Structures are given as C-alpha cells and as structure tokens.
Chains A and B, each alone.
Chain A
Amino acid sequence: MIKIVFFAALREQLNCAELSLATDDNTKTVNDIKQLLSDKNEQWQQTFCNTSLLSAVNHDMVDGNHLVKSGDEVAFFPPVTGG
C-alpha cells in the first residue's frame, strides 16, 4: 500500500485529502503515480496537468523519477507560500 496525500489548492481542486494505492509487482516512480491519478477522470487529469506541482516522498522533496515502494507516503502539493 502507498499512502498519497494532497495539500492546499490541489486538495481543494481534487476534493480529496488522501487516498491509498494498492501496490503490485511493478516498480513505480512518482511520475507513474501521477499518471495513475490522472487516469482517474477528466477532472483529475486536468488538475495533474499543472507542471508546477511539487512532490515529496516520506517528507522529503523529490523529483518525478524517484522510486516509490510499498509503505511510502507520497505527497503532491502546489509551490509553497509560507513565511
């Protein structure tokens, strides 16, 4: 199982804060997961077209080629605006 979490504007656009993805034998990258989420429906596809979205795995910022394994927490969110 891979836990996927969404934040801020992205969470609101998807109307989803988190979901679980069953893992199979195929190795997946962050980009693969993004593609799987995009395939959900047109709304999700449009939302994930946004190229400025950032991703993190287990609380560290990563790029799309990062490999994800079962038990990981993957996060997608817009560029940060704290401070």
Chain B
Amino acid sequence: MSDQSNLNEIAIQKEDFSLADEVFLLEKDNLTDGAVVTFTGRVRNNNNGNSVTTLTLEHYPGMTEKSLAKIIIQAKERWNIGRVKVIHRIGELSIGEQIVFVGVTSKHRQDAFAANEFIMDYLKVKAPFWKKEKITDAGQASENWLAAKNSDTDKAELWS
C-alpha cells in the first residue's frame, strides 16, 4: 500500500474523457487487483424543478490538485487499494456530458467500493470547484451559482 499520491492520478481538464480508456489504464499490467470500481458524474437536465441548459465549472488552480492529492492519500491510508484515477472537467458543459470520474482498483471489491465512495464524498465538500447553471424557469432564462448541499456535508462526515 502506498502513502504517496502522484500527479498521474489527477487530471483537471476541459476535454472529455473516455471511460473505456480509463478502465484500460487502471487494468493495464495490473494483475494483482481483481476489482475495478468506477464512478462517472454527468450533467443532469434538471435541478430544483428548473430545466438546466448548461453547467459551467470553475476551480482554483493549484489548490484543486493539492486537495485531491490529499483525499487520495487519505483513501490509501484507509483502504488496501491499488490504482486511483480522478478526472474533473472544467469550463462549460452541456446536458448529458461527463463531469467527473473516479476509478479505484483493489484486490477485493470492498476496498475499491468504499474508497471510491469516500473520494467522491470528500471531493464534493473539500475540492475547490464551483458550478454555475444556466436554467430556464417558466420560459425565463437565468444563471445561478449552485448552493452547497447540507446532505453532501452530512454524507462526508459519516467517514470521520
């Protein structure tokens, strides 16, 4: 088990990513891990009853990478996991587009399942990303910064 995180495990990018390519890289030359757990987050077409047209992601360059690296190190300390990959997109995204990817491998499934959920839960409350949505509410278009959800904070606290 490694207590190190490295930059290859984290990507902050405008471009889309391929789930198949990411799974390939998690599995390539990795004959010790029997479990591969992946999570992908996508842009929904609705939020709080309004129609969403696009989502724009802003982040804090430098701090984003540092906070994700810390989360990955914590996951490696807690569970017996092999490879980790976290991808988060920034910029303007349309409905149905992929936003975030978390992939974790481990010998057996329990560690990869738990570590993947932990990384996502901590990313939600600790990594400096902000979402702004363009919505249409009764034909009226507007832009809103999303408010943080208490349910995300509560969920993350369950791990402490």
Partner-B contacts on A (CB < 8 A): 5, 7-9, 12, 52, 56, 59-61, 75, 77-83
Contacts and interface: CB of A to CB of B under 8 A. Distances in A.
Contact of A82 (B62, B66, B131, B147): B131
Interface of B: 41, 57-60, 62-63, 66-67, 88, 99-100, 120, 123-132, 145-148, 152
B63 A56 contact: yes
Nearest to A59: B63
Given A7-B58, A59-B66, A60-B66, A81 B126 contact: no
B47 to A, nearest CB: 11
A75 B60 CA distance: 9
A80 B127 contact: yes
9 contacts: A7-B130, A8-B130, A59-B62, A61-B126, A77-B60, A80-B125, A80-B127, A82-B124, A82-B129
Contact of A80 (B66, B99, B120, B148): B148
Nearest to A60: B66
Residue of A8, A12, A52, A81 with highest tally of chain B CB at under 10 A: A81
Contacts of A80: 124-130, 148
A78 B147 CA distance: 9
B145 A78 contact: yes
B57 A82 contact: yes
A65 to B, nearest CB: 20
A5 to B, nearest CB: 8
B71 to A, nearest CB: 12
Given A83-B99, A83-B100, A78 B63 contact: no
A7 B88 CA distance: 18
A81 B128 CA distance: 8
Contacts of B66: 59-60
5 closest pairs, A vs B, by CB?
Answer: A82-B129, A79-B148, A8-B130, A59-B63, A9-B145
